[in-house]
């Protein structure tokens, strides 16, 4: 049989043992929450810092996507029957109007070049990113580049992978470099 004072001692002792446990559980939860918030804030700051590069990637994709569409339209025009085919001048006007949302080719090239300079500055401090960014230009600007769209796609994927690694807080590793992913 347990006396009242023994029962009180057991309850009091159990409560005292629970206090450090509760303290450490609270501390670990608070620390994990704070670290999660800090990681999110760092990711947001990094995203803002690389926003010019992300804008350039979008412009490069739009610029690269225009040519295959124009080529497909021109092939469709060439293969159309003579009776349903508009005159060449009208066809060029129709094609130009279909790309009205896109700037003219020369303007697009100037904007793309300006965006590339800004993107290069934004990427300068991320290991491997500036070099990967530079590899986008050959297939992007040279229409005679062999396997142009596949190479451009691979280069864009490499840059996007490096950006995601950087935003996630990992040390970016460029593909094809020592210690890199391929």
Sketch the domain layout of the chain as residue ranges. Answer: 1-49, 50-168
pLDDT (0 to 100) of residue 70: 76
**Structural contact between residues 181 and 175, judged by C-beta atoms closer than 8 angstroms:** yes
Determine how many CB atoms are found less than 10 A away from the CB of residue 33: 10
pLDDT (0 to 100) of residue 172: 60
pLDDT (0 to 100) of residue 178: 44
What pTM value is reported for the model?
0.60
Which residues have a Cβ under 8 Å from the Cβ of 77 and sit 6 or more positions away?
A: 85, 91
Nearest to 161 by CA among 173, 152, 169, 149: 173
pLDDT (0 to 100) of residue 139: 78
What is the length of the chain? 182
Q: What is the mean pLDDT of each run of 10 residues along the chain (182 residues)?
A: 65 68 80 89 89 89 77 80 80 74 64 84 86 82 75 89 85 52 42
pLDDT (0 to 100) of residue 92: 80
């Amino acid at each position: 049989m347990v006396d009242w004072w023994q029962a009180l001692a057991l309850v009091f002792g159990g409560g005292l043992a629970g206090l450090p446990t509760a303290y450490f559980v609270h501390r670990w939860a608070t620390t994990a929450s704070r670290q999660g918030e800090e990681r999110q804030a760092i990711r947001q700051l990094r995203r803002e810092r690389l926003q010019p590069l992300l804008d350039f990637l979008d412009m490069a994709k739009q610029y690269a996507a225009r040519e295959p569409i124009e080529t497909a339209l021109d092939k469709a025009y060439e293969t159309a029957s003579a009776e349903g085919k508009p005159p060449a001048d009208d066809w060029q006007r129709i094609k130009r109007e279909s790309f009205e949302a896109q700037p003219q080719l020369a303007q697009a090239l100037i904007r793309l070049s300006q965006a590339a300079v800004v993107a290069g500055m934004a990427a300068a401090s991320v290991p491997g990113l500036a070099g990967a960014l530079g590899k986008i230009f050959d297939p992007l600007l040279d229409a005679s580049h062999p396997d142009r769209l596949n190479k451009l796609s691979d280069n864009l994927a490499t840059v996007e992978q490096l950006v995601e690694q950087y935003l996630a807080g990992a040390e970016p590793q460029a593909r094809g470099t020592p210690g890199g992913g391929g």
